[in-house]
């Protein structure tokens, strides 16, 4: 038997070993549960403190991210505004430069035109004075020149008869080749002095189904083409039954010019020998086909020189236009690079925004997990409080309720 003393009333009572063991076990369980409750309170407090620190750290990082994002956005907007301003300035500068280049390119031509007008006016006045003084001399020479011209005319008629006889003896192919050889010989006589850098060769490329007779090309030291001409030579015998006209060859000549990428097309022709139009000199037929002329053989070299000199005068304008075009290309490339940079920047910002949203979602998820942990701890606190309340309600009377044996033993000891 063991003796027990009530801590409240000081009464001593005896219990058997089994009852003592039960009571001792209950006391130990009560101490364990009280200590467990203290530890759970401490853990709950530590968890609350850690949660508060994490919440504070999260709020601080969120504020820092927001401030950094706002700062970067402000910087990028300022940089974009500056770039737009620079682009506007570059466009205005390019436009001003282009207008100035065109004005500078046209200034020499306008000055030359003014000088030519002045010179022509002076020459016209001088011509009138000379005309008055030479009129009488011309009348005196007219008689002598008439006799001289009559003699020359007879010689020319004899030459014409000789040439007609020669042409009648030539085949149609030989007649055409003779005209080509004449033009080539005339060009080669002056090639070394007048056209040292020019290309003048037979057109042997018949891949498109047709070809011209000769191609003339010339370029400057930078490789910029000065002029290019497609030549066609036509002649026929006086005894040919079917007589061709010059215009019969215009369409094919224009086709050859376009296919061989030549600027001008020239028909060197002895056709229609009695035509006053073609016998007058150089005939411009651009009303039928662009940049096309019909000439007699004697105008072969003068026609090349005329077109070449005109092209040389416009070469500076071509180079200026190429420079202006290159400036436009530079501006276009700058705008393209700018647009590419903007697209890349926007893509980067979009990706940054996505990562920012993902980070916020991860933070929100972490917050939800912490909330669940907090709720679990609070629920654990409720269970611990309930266990503590149940322990406080534990009494001898409650333990012996429905147990008459133990109630009798406790009653004896009291």
User: What whole-number distance in Å separates Cα of residue 141 and Cα of residue 149?
Assistant: 12
Of 260, 295, 330, the one marking the end of a domain is 295
Of 245, 278, 295, the one marking the end of a domain is 295
Question: In the 8-state DSSP scheme, what is residue 170?
Answer: S
Task: Tell me, yes or no, whether 263 and 183 share the same domain.
Answer: yes
Domain for residue 282, yes or no? yes
Task: Tell me, yes or no, whether 289 and 399 share the same domain.
Answer: no
Cite the DSSP H helix spans in 195-299: 250-259, 276-279
- For the ranges 171-175, 243-247, 362-366, the lowest mean pLDDT is seen at 171-175
Domains in the chain: how many in total?
A: 2
User: What whole-number distance in Å separates Cα of residue 165 and Cα of residue 120?
Assistant: 47
Could you tell me if 170 and 178 are in contact, meaning their C-beta atoms sit under 8 angstroms apart?
yes
Question: In the 8-state DSSP scheme, what is residue 9?
Answer: T
pLDDT tens, residue by residue, 2-33: 565 666 666 666 666 676 666 666 666 666 66
**Residue 282 belongs to domain with CATH number:** 3.40.1350
User: What whole-number distance in Å separates Cα of residue 283 and Cα of residue 268?
Assistant: 11
What three-state secondary structure class fits 203?
Answer: coil
Q: DSSP for 94-162?
A: HHHHHHHHHHHHHHHHHHHHHHHHHHHHHHHHHHHHHHHHHHHHHHHHHHHHHHHHHHHHHHHHHHHHH
Number of neighbours of residue 262 by Cβ within 10 angstroms: 22
Of 243, 263, 295, the one marking the end of a domain is 295
Domain for residue 161, yes or no? no
Domain for residue 305, yes or no? no
What three-state secondary structure class fits 353?
Answer: helix
Question: In the 8-state DSSP scheme, what is residue 402?
Answer: T
Number of neighbours of residue 75 by Cβ within 10 angstroms: 10
Query: Tokens 């750290």 identify what position?
Result: 57
Give the pLDDT of residue 321. 72
User: What whole-number distance in Å separates Cα of residue 305 and Cα of residue 179?
Assistant: 19
Q: Which domain holds residue 207?
A: 172-295
Domain for residue 149, yes or no? no
Question: In the 8-state DSSP scheme, what is residue 84?
Answer: H
What three-state secondary structure class fits 388?
Answer: helix
Question: With bands split at pLDDT 50, 70 and 90, how would you rate the model's confidence at 245?
Answer: very high
pLDDT tens, residue by residue, 204-220: 877 777 778 899 999 88
Domain for residue 136, yes or no? no
pLDDT tens, residue by residue, 90-141: 777 766 766 676 566 666 667 776 777 777 777 667 666 766 666 666 666 6
pLDDT tens, residue by residue, 130-184: 666 666 666 666 676 677 667 777 776 776 676 565 554 444 444 446 788 889 9
Among 284, 287, 232, residue whose Cα is nearest residue 255? 232
Domain for residue 94, yes or no? no
Question: With bands split at pLDDT 50, 70 and 90, how would you rate the model's confidence at 237?
Answer: low
């Amino acid at each position: 038997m063991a003796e027990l003393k009530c801590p409240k009333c000081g009464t001593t009572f005896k219990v058997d070993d089994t009852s003592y063991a039960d009571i001792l076990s209950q006391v130990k369980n009560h101490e364990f549960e009280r200590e467990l409750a203290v530890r759970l309170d401490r853990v709950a407090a530590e968890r609350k403190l850690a949660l508060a620190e994490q919440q504070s750290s999260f709020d601080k990082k969120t504020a820092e991210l927001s401030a950094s994002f706002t700062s970067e956005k402000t910087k990028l907007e300022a940089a974009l505004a500056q770039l737009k301003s620079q682009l506007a300035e570059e466009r205005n500068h390019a436009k001003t430069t282009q207008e100035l280049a065109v004005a500078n390119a046209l200034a020499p031509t306008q000055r030359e035109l003014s000088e030519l007008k002045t010179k022509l006016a002076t020459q016209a006045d001088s011509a009138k004075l000379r005309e008055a003084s030479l009129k009488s001399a011309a009348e005196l020479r007219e008689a002598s020149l008439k006799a001289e011209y009559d003699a020359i005319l007879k010689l020319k008629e004899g030459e014409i008869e000789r040439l007609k006889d020669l042409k009648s003896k030539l085949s149609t192919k030989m007649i055409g080749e003779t005209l080509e050889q004449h033009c080539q010989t005339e060009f080669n006589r002056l090639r070394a002095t007048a056209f040292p850098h020019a290309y003048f060769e037979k057109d042997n490329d018949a891949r498109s189904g047709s070809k011209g007779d000769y191609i003339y090309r010339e370029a400057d030291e930078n490789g910029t083409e000065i002029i290019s001409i497609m030549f066609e030579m036509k002649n026929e015998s006086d005894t040919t039954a079917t007589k061709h006209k010059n215009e019969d060859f215009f369409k094919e000549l224009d086709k050859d010019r376009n296919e061989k990428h030549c600027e001008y097309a020239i028909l060197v022709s002895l056709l229609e020998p009695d035509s006053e139009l073609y016998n007058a000199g150089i005939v411009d037929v651009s009303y039928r086909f662009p940049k096309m002329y019909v000439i007699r053989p004697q105008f072969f070299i003068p026609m090349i020189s005329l077109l070449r000199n005109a092209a040389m005068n416009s070469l500076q304008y071509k180079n200026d236009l190429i420079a202006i075009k290159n400036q436009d290309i530079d501006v276009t490339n700058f705008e393209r690079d700018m647009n590419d940079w903007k697209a890349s920047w926007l893509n980067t910002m979009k990706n940054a925004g996505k990562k920012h949203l993902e980070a916020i979602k991860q933070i929100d998820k972490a917050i939800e997990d912490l909330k669940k942990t907090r709720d679990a701890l609070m629920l654990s606190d409720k269970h611990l409080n309930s266990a503590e309340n149940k322990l406080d309600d534990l009494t001898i009377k409650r333990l012996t309720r429905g147990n008459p044996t133990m109630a009798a033993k406790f009653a004896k000891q009291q």
